[in-house]
Structure 1
């Protein structure tokens, strides 16, 4: 058990007027207990109250190899775990419920505890997880350093022109394995030609052809923490419009990064990127938010968007990834992870952002 993290969560429970909580997402449980448990359809729940009492409800199919520092309630497949959980629940106290908890568990609990007041309690844990401690920062810097190296290696493979988008993804998996990672933090987005005009194109059997734009959006899991980075490039001779939008996206990326420091609103960072692209005449082609927090999961709370007026804090790590997408033609996205420091920020990705053009396959 990470006691300091637990105490922060208990303090935040009080702030949000939640006297008890059920935490069920495996990543949040790992954050507190330093143990990954993937329960599938079976109930996994960490019950916490503001008195500091903690109980982990877990199926016997998942034997624990170490003392997690919490009380255990172990059940089997012939038992309903809600029968055990409801005994810990105080009907007269507000309960926070993890947003990812399947509704069939919650419905059964509410039937056993009619009148129980429940709230979406994920914000309690999310607000603590969004600010990384020193150990987390070291691990995330390492993950991004690996991603930098992987980007360089996979780019050399792409330049051969031998592999489809999907095949490049498989090659990337082999590269990550060389660094003893835990695999992908998300399915890699390898996009050739007009596929790059789809912000979340799923890689397919498209081959690389002359005069294709390329987007490479990749990330790995290293020591349980995620990385994420995007670079755009071109095979052949890019036309003037492609060069223009690349320059705009790069300026937008740098503009957003230059605004980051404690006390700034996330919406201000988003606007710093978006205004560059809007002033360049391509505002309607920047169709997504500027970024997202990252940690144990590749997408965490909160986001960098026009509607998020939350204040940036030291220790946060999030992406800056503006893009322009011209349907049927090509797209450009440039993404870095940034760590908020005492006075500004540190960019975690060092792979170059200048436009790379392959004038021949080799």
Structure 2
């Protein structure tokens, strides 16, 4: 297919773009480069610099490239930042989806894969895995902006026939197996990225934010999915839509979680570096535990994870951090 990837210069977007390209699709990346990187886009992929709120440019790009499907990543995504900047998050994330759906409707594109988040579930108190039927109760503007976007997408499917696979990410981490791509973001807030920076000496120390959560060791528990496995889910989601299937919502995780302390211990183990870790107070908007049920990804999309190993995730992230000198 001919596919438009919005936010394709970002961390997950660039990995997905690469997999789509390697699978034989024609890919056009659409990104304003506010947080993305031009050099993250592999050679041979067409690039258009633009903002998803620019409906005219979106329509022009879709029409000129005969786009048949869209993978929509472009969004703001830092939980703590969203608490202090709610308007910017609703404007970029939610209004951005309205803009994209308007462009798709006008150009006849009816296949969309949407980058959502486990933050739509909020602070889940129940024990066990989180399924897609879990009630939604986001506790921060980021999660609410994504849940609003999901509602818009479902309404567009009912009204206009624009079918969407909504992918709710848990915690994405790691770098590509070939070592050519990884997370480039400066001042990142993701645990594995921060720990890898500390391990290679780019940070003097790192913090654990909150040690009094209702978990086994008092620190937050998350389901960490390797970025290459997540990119694979997007390729499978497009194949699913190409067969005429209806829209669906799917969790993206491995079905088991690790605490902050466990991730730090594994990073120290794989790198052999005992970096400095300090305890700090909780951050606003962080749920105690988020672990996915991945059954639907397997049964609906036929997904089979290839990188389900915390050691592999941490090692690939640290190796990338050593090579990343820019």
Q: What interval of TM-score do these two structures reach, taking the shorter chain for normalisation?
A: 0.3 to 0.5
TM-score, normalization: structure 1?
0.30
- Write 1 or 2 for the structure with the bigger share of helix: 2
